[in-house]
Amino acid sequence: MADNKELKIQIAAPNIQLMKTKIIGNSNLIFHRWSEKAMKMILDKQLKKAKSNVRDVRNPEKEAEESYYKNAEGKIAFPALCIKQAMVNAARNLECVTMTLLRGAIFVVGDGDGLIPVKYKKKSTRQDMVRVGMGTADLRFRGQVSDWSMDFVIKFNADIFSAEQVINLLQTAGFACGLGEWRPERNGTFGTFEVAS
């Protein structure tokens, strides 16, 4: 006969903490937001819409401006999720923590659209040679900022990580992964940062 005793499982509430932090860029931050035109072209292709063979005259300054993420106030911002992804990917450089554990234990808080304002001293347009389908070369015009920083809040499970461990993880992310285009994680040297003391 089966035992009719109730199985009692006790699960303690997670110890969720909030921590304000600031990162300061060590190298230019190159933006990579998809333009409305590029997204429309992808959608049109998926919907099998007729494609025009007439190429628009390119406007480098406009293309660079469209590469910036902008918050509701129209100010340059960056996705909070990208900072979290850098922290998760930094686990590849550590033996003591897994990426799976980090995904559920640490979150970077953005605004209603998931963005964090970027403070910077200078913005400029860059022209880069890129390889597209079948090795074809093309030019990309993207915006970049120098002398940049971001202030944000990290939400973390203090039963798993201490505040010091979270900061050290963020520091590793800034050194080994970076943010934006041509970051160390993608064989570049841009988008590196350190945590403000």
Residue 1, pLDDT > 70, answer no
Q: Where does the pLDDT of residue 176 fall: very low under 50, low under 70, confident under 90, or very high at 90 and above?
A: very high
- Contact present, 40 and 52 (Cβ < 8 Å): no
Which residues are 154's β-sheet partners?
19, 108
As a whole number, mean pLDDT of residues 133-144 equals: 88
Poorest-pLDDT segment among 62-76, 123-137, 155-169: 123-137
Q: Are the beta carbons of 32 and 67 closer than 8 angstroms?
A: yes
Please state, in angstroms and rounded to a whole number, the distance separating the CA atoms of residues 19 and 24. Answer: 16
Q: Label residue 11 by pLDDT band (50, 70, 90).
A: confident
Residues with Cβ within 8 Å of residue 167, at least 6 apart in sequence:
19, 21, 195
Cα separations in angstroms, 133 against 48, 63, 126, 178: 19, 20, 22, 26
